[in-house]
Amino acid sequence: MLNIFVPLNHSKLPKILTLVGLLVLVAIAFLTFWSARDFVSAARWRRHSYSVRYEARAFTASLESLKSSLFSMAIQPRIVTIEQFNSSKQDLQRNLSSLRDLVADNATQAEKVQKISQLISEKTPIWEKLSHELIRGKSLKNRADFHYLLNQTTTVNVDAQIAALEAEEDLLLMQRGTKAERLFELTSAVVISGIIVAFLLFFFSNNLLQKEILRREETEKELQRAKQKSIEASELKSSFLANMSHEIRTPLNGIIGMSKLLEHTPLNARQVDYVETIKTSSNSLLALINDILDFSKIESGKFQLEETNFELKSLLKSAVSIVDYSAKSKGLEIITDIENTVPEFLVGDPLRLRQVLLNLLNNAIKFSDTGTIKLLVQKLATTDDSQAKLLFEVIDQGVGFDAETRQKLFQSFSQGDNSMSRRYGGTGLGLAISKQIVELMSGGIDVESTKGVGSKFFFNVLLKVPKKDSTIQSISKMHTI
């Protein structure tokens, strides 16, 4: 059965819980806003109902005042005037108009007010006629006249409509109050529940976050301990290599020295070959030891460059002279060309610069069987006159290599492919060390090659230009690294 559930990343769980908690708080805020809006609306409608009830009662009061004025005019015509009747009539019309406006949004209530308005419209001419008769002196002479007046002022239908209107508003008021209470209870329950849920989410999120912080702190401590162990191991390795290289070079120098002395003794042809083999093997082993020691220093960060005044032509001459014998033994010619704009004297580490050149020249000789090897130097443009950026090129007509091999060349212990190592020998450290040296000199190194045609190794370095030449070091006094 396929597992369709994706495992949850525990490092992301605190963020997820915090996000959910924030969403809960946002939902609570939205619900609170929505509830507040409904509360305001409910309060407005309750005020509206109270206003309708107030106007209905005011209408009833005005109606009673109008009828009372008619009775008063009949009983005491000299005291009650027509103005009082007209004033009550105006109040009645004003109250009726207010009622009509207030219930315009409620069809049922508007219908009741319309009926009231019709009844009042029917009664108003009768009341006006009666008021004029009473003002002109008509009096209630007998019981029949009194009953006539009473019948004319009866508003039973109007009172019934007013009572129905008030009852409807009371019902609406009760319904709106009940709805507001339910809304308040629901909102309170949701808000309280949401706050509890948000609190729990934040609590668990904080708890998980604290555990994650402790876990990361412990991981950092482990990394620090591992880093310290790595540094100690690297220092131990560097110390071991330094001591061992010294112990190995001491007898090795003795072998090289004795082989040189042996060269000056009477030897037959076979013995000369033996001595030459001893010298070649010893020098190769010494170069390997030096490369391993340099590589160890680079790895441990203890590889440093010196700043010394030197003459560039002497440096190039020294480098070429070291490899010239190997080149001539294979029938190769080394051509050196220095551009006129290149400064004669420079400030830098001539020993390390020569080491890079020797690595490239030795490679060119190793992988070439015929043709020439060119060593070209030119100056690149710079904005600072106190510095010179030089481009060195070593061009050969050797075996060359393809693009896949090119990608491996500057890696440690790599010679492109195993066939090269078997055929030409070497450890593959030379170019890796050269790359590190060039980069320490604020430069870069690269290669262009075509298999079967040849290769061009080139690098650029940034060197200072000395102000005085009095302390220029003669390159001829430098010893081989």
Same domain, 321 and 464: yes
Among 166, 186, 204, give the residue marking a domain's end.
Answer: 204
| Structural tokens at position 144 | 């029949």
- 29 falls within a domain: yes
CA distance 393 to 447: 9
Mapped onto helix, strand or coil, the DSSP state of residue 346 is strand
Q: Which parts of 76-106 fold into alpha helices (H)?
A: 82-102
Same domain, 316 and 451: yes
- 154 falls within a domain: yes
Q: Which domain holds residue 22?
A: 11-204
Among 170, 186, 204, give the residue marking a domain's end.
Answer: 204
Long-range contacts of 301-305 (CB under 8 A, 24+ apart): 302/238, 303/436, 303/440, 305/348, 305/349, 305/352, 305/437, 305/440, 305/441
- 46 falls within a domain: yes
pTM: 0.49
- 1 falls within a domain: no
How many domains are contained in the chain? 2
Could you give the dihedral angle defined by the CA atoms of residues 69, 74, 77 and 80, in that order, rounded to the nearest 10 degrees? Answer: -10
Among 204, 229, 244, give the residue marking a domain's end.
Answer: 204
- pLDDT by 10s per residue, the chain, length 481: 444 444 445 567 767 777 777 777 777 777 777 776 776 777 777 777 788 888 888 888 877 787 777 777 766 665 556 777 778 788 888 888 888 888 888 887 888 888 888 887 777 787 777 777 776 665 555 445 555 555 556 667 777 888 888 787 778 778 777 777 777 777 777 778 777 877 777 777 778 778 888 888 898 999 999 888 887 877 777 777 667 766 777 787 888 888 888 888 888 888 888 888 887 777 777 777 777 777 777 766 667 888 899 999 999 999 999 889 889 988 999 999 999 999 999 999 998 899 899 989 998 998 898 889 999 999 998 778 889 999 999 999 988 888 787 777 777 655 555 555 445 445 567 788 889 889 989 999 999 988 888 999 999 999 999 876 545 444 445 544 4
| Structural tokens at position 63 | 């109606």
Assign residue 97 the CATH number of its domain: 1.20.120.1730
Assign residue 310 the CATH number of its domain: 3.30.565.10
CA distance 265 to 263: 6
Same domain, 167 and 312: no
φ/ψ (deg, to 5) at 311: -100, 125
- Tell me which amino acid residue 15 is: K
- 374 falls within a domain: yes
- 251 falls within a domain: no
CA distance 406 to 425: 18
Q: Are 356 and 363 in contact (CB under 8 A)?
A: no
Q: Are 359 and 430 in contact (CB under 8 A)?
A: yes
- 295 falls within a domain: no
**Quick count: other Cβ atoms within 10 Å of Cβ 16?**
14
- 177 falls within a domain: yes
Q: What is the gyration radius of the CA atoms in the chain, in angstroms?
A: 56
